[in-house]
Structure 1
């Protein structure tokens, strides 16, 4: 397994304001300096980086610059993360337009993975049919990824209709898309990340690692997530792709957070190799 880091920590996540009135233009974006982020990630000992669709799109306006930055840092672009509501029939074509654009960017810059989140919670509540809508949309996402030579995976996320274990079960029994377990989101949703990895052994396509304590996301080793069991589960299901540290924000230097997580993960991986 190789270890990467998401650039989100270098500024958190925002969206494009044009998306309020034009769904096709809505993207995720980290407002920080991506040149600094990639250099910090490489200096902390990571081999790859995952980025949001908006940041890759910004750099794609100067493709030689992103290619040069990846070459300079020695980082591989592991994946591109995007997302959508996926439950509103009328908006879906424009949302899939954005997903296709993210897939094109991922292919252009050599990424392996298209990571998607989403599944809107309606103001009036969530009908069971929304899980069918979400699953059908995710199958289309999977098709788009395959067309571009990518693997696609779904990331259960707080504030969506797929938070807790029962909701995770609902979507992965209805859609064929791969699974990107995020240790902190699954734990915050009331699940056991290691158990959910073991429950869907053939669906794991990508892994996000972050820690959690009292509802706060933290660098690895600073919260309550049992990463020894998580990594044991990952090995048991035969997963051997990227492990991506993904921390939404940090009260301090994001480079420090990256170093803390990398050092902790190295220790846990070494201990696991010895047993």
Structure 2
């Protein structure tokens, strides 16, 4: 039997689906009690604190709305979310003061700015550093928290140890400059990148300085790359800055397509064990943001 779900119904129910605990030992009330929105700036709590209770804030990424950032802001706020992530195109669409005022009016924290790609090519190093430092300045002026970067699709030739070393160096240098602005840098693990598979993410994080480079863990990309995101949360807990919460379906029919595995779905419609993810966050006493992300609408007829 087919059913239709509106955008509002879908978004409004995401938090409930994400925290479902039918197969988890963590009760739902423990995941979404009033401490979900503590009256404090969680930029100071980007890693577990011994003895402290977990405090998970749920935000939503504006990417689902495409270029309609203003509509995304209205919808996300009206549904009760308290955090939002924008892509870098927000920089050309808003002046910092304007966006800061809109966020305040809608009681939203700008959790992160998706700053775009960094590159292994040494010839692009200075350009990359300048670009992402400028993006961090915009984020600072808006009053946002974190800058997110990803790396480009790997080159045709095999990835080498030198590639990990160079990219680790680059994101460390960017992280030093964003830190000077009070902005923490999060590296986004991603399919078709040096961090596509768990061992690649390990090598890249080991090649970067943990003082300046944190992990923005995308649970669906991590699972598509071959491992369990709940285990990744426990493994990288000390370095975990924030998360992308999304679900994943089966790969497409064309294995030659670089995006074949990127079958991202509404929460609860895929195969990511969401209760296990939230249980792991509670186990490490994570205090910070989990941003729900859906790259695009899988079926526009249902919205």
Tell me which interval the TM-score lies in, with the shorter structure as reference length. 0.7 to 0.9
Q: Is the 8 A contact 1:165 1:190 kept in 2?
A: yes
Q: Which residue of 2 aligns with 1:50?
A: 85
Offset, 1:114: 1.1
SS class of match (1:184): helix
1:222 matches 2:257 = no
1:196 matches 2:232 = yes
- Scaled by the length of structure 1, the TM-score of the pair is 0.80
Which residue of 100, 103, 109 corresponds with 1:67?
100
1:131-184 superposed Cα distances (whole Å, 9 cap, x missing partner): 001111111122122111011111111111111111111112221211111011
Q: Give, in whole Å, the separation in 2 of the partners of 1:123 and 1:253.
A: 34
Q: Which residue of 2 aligns with 1:143?
A: 176
Q: Which residue of 2 aligns with 1:178?
A: 214
Q: Which residue of 2 aligns with 1:249?
A: 296
Question: Structure 1 residues 187 and 254 mapped into 2: Cα distance closer, same or farther (>3 Å)?
Answer: farther
Look at both structures and tell me which one has the larger radius of gyration over its CA atoms: 2
1:90-147 superposed Cα distances (whole Å, 9 cap, x missing partner): 1110111110011001101111111111154112221221000111111112212211
1:54-110 superposed Cα distances (whole Å, 9 cap, x missing partner): 2134212xx443233213321111111113242111111011111001100110111
Q: Is the 8 A contact 1:154 1:179 kept in 2?
A: yes
5+ unaligned residues in a row in structure 2: which ranges?
A: 1-55, 252-262
Q: Is the 8 A contact 1:114 1:150 kept in 2?
A: yes
Question: Structure 1 residues 181 and 254 mapped into 2: Cα distance closer, same or farther (>3 Å)?
Answer: farther
Compare relative contact order (CA 8 Å, sep 6+) and give the higher one, 1 or 2. 2
SS class of match (1:140): helix
Q: Which residue of 2 aligns with 1:24?
A: none
The CA RMSD measured in Å over matched residues stands at 1.8
- Number of residue-to-residue matches in the alignment: 234
Q: Give, in whole Å, the separation in 2 of the partners of 1:113 and 1:255.
A: 33
- Scaled by the length of structure 2, the TM-score of the pair is 0.73
Q: Is the 8 A contact 2:247 2:272 kept in 1?
A: yes
Q: Which residue of 2 aligns with 1:8?
A: 63
Q: Give, in whole Å, the separation in 2 of the partners of 1:144 and 1:83.
A: 16
5+ unaligned residues in a row in structure 1: which ranges?
A: 12-31, 257-275
1:247-271 superposed Cα distances (whole Å, 9 cap, x missing partner): 1001456996xxxxxxxxxxxxxxx
